[in-house]
């Protein structure tokens, strides 16, 4: 099977005809038609086997996650996802693996209503690079640089589940019971919060998606905005599954603060818009939890339930330690 047959067989179905795709797969480049008055939001991520996902991850889940991590970036910008490209490096042509990978990719693409418009395939160690493209009205994108003192710091969903699942895999724990399966699903099939990003685009001051951990990712917002954060550890949203998997509160909070792969949104919201933001999230069936406040003094600080500072040294995931 050559490159072109591989594309026709497994990936052409991900490129349906639509008005905003003038020319998709099959030429030297795609021709896209963004909506009038909109800017393009473009993001790209590479996933490498054994580093960004466990080597035994199901191909369906690899396809899903490779797209999800990119769509999550668009969600953090308040952009509407439209298109994506795929660069796939394969050690060999494994038809069952390709079928599963394409199925996972297509499942999320259909759910998010995005079209595959190009890419590349080559031979080598397994890696997946996706570039996702979205649209956002000019002047209305959420950015990291908008946080202001007094903003509430909010996160969607729950934190620490994916990090707990990764730790279980690293220990060699078998995935048994519904609780462990749910934790592993948070690692393998994250849910990009696209609808939430759109709903909060005009309510939040700043946003970022939580890929490398709360401390690392919120730290980017703090640096870009020139502010600090005061986090209340007792408010970190926790799933029932994580409470069982990690009953020790200190260890659990470290997973929630430094662990990555949650792909929830972290936003800063002015106090005057906090109730509206919560209501917008609830309308989508999502939770939005106030975990602290943006402060004038630079730095990332964590406090316990009595207001005492907690010593915290983990910095989250780093690509080049």
pLDDT in tens, 186-203: 999 999 999 999 999 999
Domain end (from 137, 161, 184): 137
Is 161 known as a binding-site position?
A: no
Domain boundary among 104, 137, 170: 137
Asked if 125 and 179 sit in the same domain, the reply is no
pLDDT at 315: 57
Average pLDDT over residues 276-280: 98
Give pLDDT, residue 319: 40
Q: Which helix (H) or strand (E) holds 80?
A: strand 80-90
Question: Is residue 223 marked as binding?
Answer: no
| pLDDT of 87 above 60 | yes
User: Are 108 and 18 found together in one domain?
Assistant: yes
Per the annotation, does 301 bind a ligand?
no
Q: Is 94 within any annotated ligand binding site? A: no
State whether 89 and 174 are in the same domain: no
If asked whether residues 8 and 116 sit together in one domain, one would say yes
Residue 251 lies in a domain: yes
State the CATH number of the domain containing residue 156. Answer: 3.90.650.10
CA distance 259 to 312: 13
- pLDDT of res. 6: 76
- The answer, as to whether pTM is greater than 0.75, is yes
Per-residue confidence at 19, pLDDT binned at 50, 70, 90?
Answer: confident
Is residue 200 located within the same domain as residue 132?
no
Q: How far is CA 216 from the centre of its chain?
A: 14
How many Cα atoms within 13 Å fall on the side-chain side of residue 21?
24
Residue with the larger pLDDT of the pair 155 and 305:
155
Report the C-alpha gap between 120 and 124 in whole angstroms.
13
Average pLDDT over residues 232-250: 95
User: Does residue 315 sit within a domain?
Assistant: no
Q: Which of 70, 86, 95 is nearest to 6 (CA)?
A: 95
> According to the annotation, is 317 in a ligand binding site?
yes
Q: Is residue 316 part of a domain?
A: no
**Model pLDDT, residue 313:** 62
> 84 and 104: one domain?
yes
Q: Which residues contact 67 (CB under 8 A, 6 or more apart)?
A: 84, 105, 108, 109, 112, 114, 130, 132
Q: 289 or 21: which carries more pLDDT confidence?
A: 289
Same domain for 270 and 242:
yes
Q: Are residues 19 and 63 in the same domain?
A: yes
In whole angstroms, how far apart are CA 4 and each of 52, 85, 121, 122?
Answer: 27, 15, 9, 11
> Does residue 259 share a domain with residue 162?
yes
Last residue of a domain, one of 137, 155, 180: 137
Query: Is 151 found in the same domain as 81?
Result: no
Q: Which two tokens stand for residue 215?
A: 């401390």
**Per-residue pLDDT, 312:** 66
Q: 27 a known binding residue? A: no
Within a domain: 309? no
Q: For residue 69, which of 264, 268, 321 has the smallest C-alpha distance?
A: 264
Give yes or no for residue 26 having a pLDDT over 90: no
Residue 257 has pLDDT above 50, yes or no: yes
Question: Given pLDDT bands bounded at 50, 70 and 90, which one contains residue 176?
Answer: confident
Task: Write down the pLDDT at residue 318.
Answer: 44
Is residue 263 a part of any domain in this protein? yes
115 and 220, same domain (yes or no): no
The reply, when asked if residue 15 is annotated as ligand binding, is: no
Is 119 annotated to bind a ligand? Reply is yes
CA-CA-CA-CA torsion for 94, 100, 102, 106, nearest 10 degrees?
180
- Check whether 144 is labelled as a binding-site residue: yes
CB 198: neighbour CB atoms within 10 A? Answer: 19
For residue 106, what is the domain's CATH number? Answer: 3.30.1330.10
The secondary structure element, H or E, covering residue 6 is helix 3-6
Would you place residue 317 in the very low, low, confident or very high pLDDT band (cuts 50, 70, 90)?
A: very low
pLDDT at 305: 79
Residue 1 has a pLDDT of: 63
- Lookup result for tokens 């990119």: 70
The pLDDT assigned to 2 comes to 63
Q: Is residue 11 part of a domain?
A: yes
38 has binding-site annotation: no
Choose the weakest-confidence range: 40-49, 99-108, 306-315: 306-315
For the chain, the domain total comes to 2
Q: State pLDDT tens for residues 113-138.
A: 999 999 888 899 889 999 999 999 99
Phi (first) and psi of residue 11, to 5 degrees: -120, -20
Q: Is residue 308 part of a domain?
A: no
Q: Which domain holds residue 79?
A: 3-137
Contact 162, 187 (CB under 8 A): yes
* CA dist., res. 174 & res. 169, Å (int): 8
Give yes or no for residue 267 having a pLDDT over 90.
Answer: yes
Statement to judge: residues 175 and 117 lie in one domain: no
Phi, psi (degrees; rounded to nearest 5) at 202: -105, 10
Does residue 314 sit within a domain? no
Helix (H) or strand (E) holding 251: helix 249-258
């Amino acid at each position: 099977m050559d490159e072109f047959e591989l594309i026709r067989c497994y990936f052409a179905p991900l490129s349906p005809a639509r008005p905003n795709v003038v020319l998709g797969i099959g030429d030297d480049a795609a021709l896209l038609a963004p909506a009038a008055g909109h800017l393009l939001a473009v993001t790209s991520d590479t996933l490498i086997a054994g580093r960004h996902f466990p080597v035994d991850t199901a191909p369906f889940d690899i396809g899903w996650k490779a797209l999800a991590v990119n769509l999550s970036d668009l969600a953090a910008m308040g952009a509407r996802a439209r298109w994506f490209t795929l660069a796939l490096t394969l050690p060999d042509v494994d038809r069952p693996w390709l079928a599963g990978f394409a199925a996972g990719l297509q499942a999320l693409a259909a759910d998010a209503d995005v079209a595959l418009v190009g890419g590349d395939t080559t031979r080598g160690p397994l890696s997946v690079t996706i570039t996702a493209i979205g649209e956002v009205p000019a002047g209305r994108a959420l950015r990291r640089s908008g946080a202001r003192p007094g903003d509430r710091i909010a996160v969607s969903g729950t934190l620490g589940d994916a990090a707990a699942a990764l730790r279980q895999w690293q220990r060699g724990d078998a995935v048994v019971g519904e609780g462990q399966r749910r934790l592993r699903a948070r690692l393998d099939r994250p849910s990009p919060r696209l609808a939430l990003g759109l709903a909060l685009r005009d309510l939040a001051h700043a946003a970022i998606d939580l890929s490398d951990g709360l401390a690392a990712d919120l730290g980017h917002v703090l640096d870009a905005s020139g502010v600090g954060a005061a986090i209340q550890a007792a408010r970190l949203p926790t799933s029932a599954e994580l409470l069982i998997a990690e009953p020790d509160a200190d260890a659990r909070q470290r997973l929630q603060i430094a662990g990555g792969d949650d792909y929830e949104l972290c936003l800063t919201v002015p106090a005057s818009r906090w109730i509206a933001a919560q209501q917008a999230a609830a309308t989508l069936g999502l939770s939005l939890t106030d975990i602290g406040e943006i402060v004038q003094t630079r730095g990332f600080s964590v406090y316990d339930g009595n207001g005492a500072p907690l010593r915290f040294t983990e910095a989250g995931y780093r690509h080049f330690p």
